[in-house]
Amino acid sequence: MRFHRLAAAAAVFLLASAGAQQPANPLDNIPEKIPFDIPYGAPISLERADAVLNAALGEARKHDWKLVCAVMDSGGQLVAFKRMDGAQLASIEIAQHKARASATFRRETKAFEAGIQGGNTYLVTLDGVIGSRGGIPLVDGGRLVGSIGCSGGTGSQDEVGAKAGVAALR
């Protein structure tokens, strides 16, 4: 009987110790400021959206990548879209999804990719998230005016195309 009480006390101690050693949930962290707090601006014009797309597709042509790229306005609505000859059909929706997520969440889709890979499964519960790089906000004068999303290559190729588009906005 004494052995059972001693074993039970040891088990309680081990369970309490194991619980104390568990790392804190990183989602419990309370930042000083809201992350990705870029104010929304006036929607990007068609002329500027075309310049962004042309730069992204120009970069893709340099590497012989077949990309699909979409530009959304500051509200996440499609402004301009281009699909290179031979680009995979699945990338039509993916490019738009990347651009929409980037505009509505005001951050690069690479942030979702990194979070999911880091074990933050909470991200997959949010409507409209896509955990793949290649969606980047378009910021002009400190305000979000739209976003670009590219798909069709690897995530890193999509990102290179999208960054070329972002650079054309400046």
Tens of pLDDT along the chain (170 residues)?
Answer: 554 554 444 444 444 555 555 567 777 888 899 888 999 999 999 999 999 999 999 999 999 999 999 999 999 999 999 999 999 999 999 999 999 999 999 999 999 999 999 999 889 999 999 999 999 999 999 999 999 999 999 999 999 999 999 999 98
Q: 70-82 burial, b for 16+ CB within 10 Å, e for fewer?
A: bbbbbebeebbbb
Quick one: pLDDT at residue 145?
98
CATH class for domain 46-169? Answer: alpha beta
* Domain range summary for the chain, segments of one domain joined by +: 46-169
